[in-house]
Amino acid sequence: MERERLIFHIDVNSAFLSWESVDRLKKDPTALDLRTIPSAVGGDASKRHGIVLAKSTPAKRYGVTTGEPLAQALKKCPHLMVVPSHFEIYVASSRRLLKLLEEYTPDIEKFSIDEAFLDMTETIHLFGEPLAVADGIRRRVREELGFTVNVGISSNKLLAKMASDFEKPDRTHTLFPAEVPEKMWPLPIRELFLVGGAAQKKLESLGLHTIGELAHSDPELLALHLGGKYARLIHDYANGLDSEPVAERTAMNKGYGNRITLSRDVSDMEEARHVLLSLAETVGARLRADHVLCNQVCVELRDWRFHSSSHQGALHFATDSTSVIYEEACRLLEEFWDRTPVRLIGIRTGKISDHGFVQMSLFETEQDRKRLEMEKAVDAIRSRFGTDSVKRASFLAKDSLVDHAASKHKHLGNQKGDPHETDTDL
DNA sequence: TCTTCCATCACGT
DNA sequence: CTAACGACGTGATGGAAGA
């Protein structure tokens, strides 16, 4: 008997590209607005980081899609203007948006860097009719922040999210349960949240092509092919059912990781260890910044044939130390890497615990203490100057395979998920 | 036999 | 021109290992 709720889902249109453009215009009001020309935010193809992270509407008209290789995008659209990404800008922009949204309700869930859910049930009466309030939010974001958002309105998170995806940009849509048959059921199955490529294939092999067909399908049959839990979930979703509360993401991360695609394949252990050090340093810094410890380390590889593998090990004690993580990662790598040339190396930590205050432990040697102090100092310098202000001596010696692995993503702090936008976001 | 661990897959941004 | 593309975090799953 839960009461009817009122949920808004806010989704930034072409987030990275919009934010990039807003920032350029702020610095130089005469600058070209990237949103008005075929453009994209992308990686560096020469370092094998070449994919489209976000695209402008004009670029979309050329068939450029998010996630595709830059070379492919340039074939479709030779004049595509590609600009590099600046995560600090996106984090700041995201924060400004959240701040504005907080004026409407304290019950906010930041879903990703460019999406948020608002539970407006208790506060809507302060502002007016839902549609008018949503339009007001859009207008304020446009005028005060310089970019546009879509707002989806419904009585649960799933439907609000589906609604914000409808027509873009700068639009408000409702998708209340009564509207589901008309607005959601005709959509291809792939557009349902949590139905990806693999599920799509299975569902289509069962003759299910639209969300409506899924909604009316036999749950038992679904469970047989998709697994019980997942089958129930998407069957409920297809019927517009979702009772998840809007919850502030206050919970601890379950893990912290860092991985990088190298500018060239690596088959030498020495080189691989340098990469691991760089990765361990980032991960360790993030653990320390969040005052958490990990008890598990996992090394991931992707070889030159794109085959992925991983190997994990438990620590004997919880740690946030770069060196401990690094040493364990090296041990694991030795243990399972057959020296097949790899194009990607990663470290993931797990078994996170909250014991923030570093245990100045019983067995800690003087060397350990010094090392910890040094790591703290490195963190401090990095947080002041960012990026590569400090490098380890061992890292300076080699020519760098990774360019900025050590500084990447550290600013994301506590956030869940990664800030890249999707194809649906335009 | 019941739980936990491990590696992999799938999905989202 | 047979492929091909990033960097994350989370949850499910099925088989192996362990108690």
Q: What is the CATH number of the domain that holds A201?
A: 1.10.150.20
pLDDT at A410: 30
DSSP assignment of A302-336 equals EETT--EEEEEEEEEEEE--HHHHHHHHHHHHHHH
Straight-line distance from CA A72 to C1' C5, in Å? 11
pLDDT at A381: 58
Tell whether A314 and A232 lie within a shared domain.
no
For residue A377, pLDDT over 90 is answered with no
Strand C close to A261 by CB, under 7 A: yes
Q: Which nucleotide is nearest to A419 (CA to C1')?
A: B13
Query: Would the CA dihedral through A353, A358, A361, A364 be positive or negative?
Result: positive
Higher pLDDT, A7 or A371: A7
Confidence of residue A69 (pLDDT cuts 50, 70, 90): confident
Rounded to an integer, what distance in angstroms lies between the CA atom of residue A116 and that of residue A164? 11
Tell me the pTM.
0.84
A80: Cβ contacts below 8 Å, ≥ 6 apart:
A38, A39, A40, A59, A62, A64, A73, A74
Strand C close to A90 by CB, under 7 A: no
A394: Cβ contacts below 8 Å, ≥ 6 apart:
A274, A277
Strand C close to A53 by CB, under 7 A: yes
For residue A50, pLDDT over 50 is answered with yes
Tell whether A230 and A269 lie within a shared domain.
no
List, by residue number, the catalytic residues of A.
Answer: 115
Tell whether A223 and A294 lie within a shared domain.
no
Residue-level length of chain A = 426
For residue A30, pLDDT over 60 is answered with yes
Whole-number CA gyration radius for chain A = 24
Domain residues for the domain of A23 are 1-171
Straight-line distance from CA A397 to C1' C4, in Å? 32
Tell whether A122 and A52 lie within a shared domain.
yes
pLDDT at A249: 67
Does any domain span residue A179?
A: no
Confidence of residue A115 (pLDDT cuts 50, 70, 90): very high
Confidence of residue A374 (pLDDT cuts 50, 70, 90): low
* A410: amino acid identity, one letter: K
Does any domain span residue A371?
A: yes
For residue A417, pLDDT over 90 is answered with no
Straight-line distance from CA A348 to C1' C1, in Å? 36
Count other C-beta atoms under 10 Å from residue A179's C-beta.
Answer: 16
Tell whether A278 and A138 lie within a shared domain.
no
pLDDT at A373: 67
Tell whether A8 and A87 lie within a shared domain.
yes
